[in-house]
Chains A and B, each alone.
Chain A
């Protein structure tokens, strides 16, 4: 089955710097790659997603890139702010909603003011 790996497990950056989180997946049939942010005591919330027919997607300070050949995708956060501090999960899913969403182990991001 699908396996999603994520690095680093923890990341500390100064406010205003950029943060990059990298993920790899094993199943070449996966074609949907969401990123979720989980704040303390809350459930994960979708922040951005990318589908396999697109190489890059950007939404304000957040961008995601996908390399299907290498089976890896990355989250880029620019101009980080203290409120970006949270745990971030990458995930992978095949083409239908019947296929389970497989989450990576998470990256704990701390933005130091």
Chain B
């Protein structure tokens, strides 16, 4: 079974530029998550989708971050304009969407903002 796919793996941009990350979850997984992991910290949830709909985006900085999940499958996370403090690994995860259960993570997209 294919795992969660993410791209790009690495991205370096200047502050105030924009960047987009793509995620393809495991087939059949209804729930998709974007986490931000700053070096030395645990993952922090940015946004959670259940199929096409947003379940939780309370910690998403909406003035600069946006995310969408078209057709309930792939998802894109965009940052515009980027700030230095956005340097982090952006992890995408998916789950079956049942009550509490395993999250399957991709390898992450490492963003460096200069």
Query: Using a CB–CB distance below 8 Å, which chain A residues touch chain B?
Result: 4, 6, 31-32, 34, 36, 41-46, 49, 51, 89, 91, 93-106
Contact = CB atoms under 8 A, between A and B. Distances in A.
29 contacts: A4-B42, A34-B102, A41-B107, A42-B108, A43-B93, A43-B106, A43-B107, A43-B108, A44-B43, A44-B91, A44-B103, A46-B103, A89-B42, A89-B43, A91-B42, A96-B99, A96-B100, A97-B50, A97-B95, A97-B98, A97-B99, A97-B101, A98-B48, A98-B50, A100-B56, A103-B42, A103-B44, A104-B42, A106-B42
Contacts, number: 65
A97 B40 CA distance: 26
Interface of B: 4, 31, 33, 40-45, 48, 50, 55-56, 91, 93, 95, 97-103, 105-108
